[in-house]
């Protein structure tokens, strides 16, 4: 009797092994795709946070450094310097606005609202509405920072540095602008929870510009030396200059 020919096909064991191998390959491919997708998403979030931090630091630093010694009217008083600093915000006039192509003047305020640092900017302002702005004035508003646990502003005088940092600055009482502003933000994910601290000098105060006392430009040193050694007609020469001339003559 002739043997029956074996039909071509797979056994159940071979089918199970093939399914196991296919599942392992699919798991490896999916894991690689999943981790790759997470890395791309994490990189995009990191780049977005980096860009936001750079924007916040550049904008805050530029506007504070460009703060203007601007005079306001308050309670029928003229020529009151405008700068109001608090632990959770500050108000001043800057020559580096975000609008108008970064030119001109703008009244800006930084405020902590609902756990976010919000910046408000007004280009249409008058000395009378700086300390008491009206609620119906047009204001441009944007969220500068978010996702932190705490934020505080501190201020230091330009001259009396030994007084240290204070958490409030009212130019109406100080009759001056601060020399430095320090911003401390804690809990930002970008820094891994480490505090973000920036100390920003006011160039107006650092250079001595914009004060309410008129300042003559400094004279050239050679002119000062000539004025100190040369006597005017009818006046006796300086004693030190006479002594130097006598020594040279000997």
> Counting every residue, how long is the chain?
250
Which two three-digit tokens encode residue 48? 């977005």
Summary mean pLDDT of the chain: 78
Q: Say how far residue 113 (Cα) sits from the centre of its chain.
A: 18
Report pLDDT digits (tens) over 80-130: 899 999 999 999 999 999 887 778 899 999 999 998 999 999 988 888 889
Which residue ranges make up each domain of the chain? 50-206
Strand partners, 65: none
Mean pLDDT, residues 185-203 taken together: 86
Nearest alpha carbon to residue 132 among 67, 78, 84: 84
- Out of 58-72, 126-140, 143-157, 194-208, pick the least confident: 194-208
pLDDT, residue 166, reads 95
Which two three-digit tokens encode residue 98? 């975000």
Residue 56 pLDDT greater than 90, yes or no:
no
| Higher-pLDDT residue of 35, 66 | 66
Mean pLDDT, residues 38-54 taken together: 68
The answer to whether residues 127 and 71 touch, using CB atoms and an 8 Å cutoff, is yes
Residue 51 pLDDT greater than 70, yes or no:
yes
Residue 151 pLDDT greater than 80, yes or no:
yes
Share of the chain above pLDDT 70, in %: 72
Report pLDDT digits (tens) over 127-137: 888 998 877 77
Residue 237 pLDDT greater than 50, yes or no:
no
HEC states along 111-144? EEECCEEEEEEECCCCHHHCCCCCCCCCCEEEEE
Residue 141 pLDDT greater than 80, yes or no:
yes
| Higher-pLDDT residue of 207, 11 | 11
Nearest alpha carbon to residue 202 among 222, 219, 225, 177: 177
């Amino acid at each position: 009797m002739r043997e029956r020919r074996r039909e071509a096909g797979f056994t159940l064991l071979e089918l199970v092994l093939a399914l196991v191998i296919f599942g392992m390959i699919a798991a490896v491919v999916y894991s690689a795709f999943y981790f790759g997708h997470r890395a791309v998403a994490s990189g995009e979030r990191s780049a977005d946070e980096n860009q936001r931090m750079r924007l916040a630091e550049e904008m805050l630093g530029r506007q504070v450094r460009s703060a203007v010694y601007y005079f306001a009217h308050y309670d029928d008083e003229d020529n009151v310097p405008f700068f109001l600093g608090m632990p959770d915000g500050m108000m001043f006039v800057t020559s580096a606005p975000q609008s108008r192509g970064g030119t001109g003047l703008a009244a800006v305020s930084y405020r902590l609202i609902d756990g976010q640092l919000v910046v408000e900017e007004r280009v249409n302002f008058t000395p009378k509405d700086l300390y008491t702005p009206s609620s119906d004035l047009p204001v441009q508003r944007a969220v500068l920072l978010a996702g932190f646990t705490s934020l505080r502003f501190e201020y230091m005088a330009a001259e009396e540095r030994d007084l240290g940092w204070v958490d409030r600055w009212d130019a109406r009482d100080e009759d001056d602008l601060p020399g430095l502003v320090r911003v401390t933000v804690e809990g930002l994910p970008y820094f891994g929870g480490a505090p973000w601290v920036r100390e920003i000098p006011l160039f107006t105060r650092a250079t001595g510009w914009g004060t309410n006392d008129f300042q003559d430009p400094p004279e050239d040193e050679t002119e000062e030396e000539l004025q100190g050694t040369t006597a005017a007609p009818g006046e006796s020469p300086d004693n030190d200059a006479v002594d130097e001339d006598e020594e040279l003559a000997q």
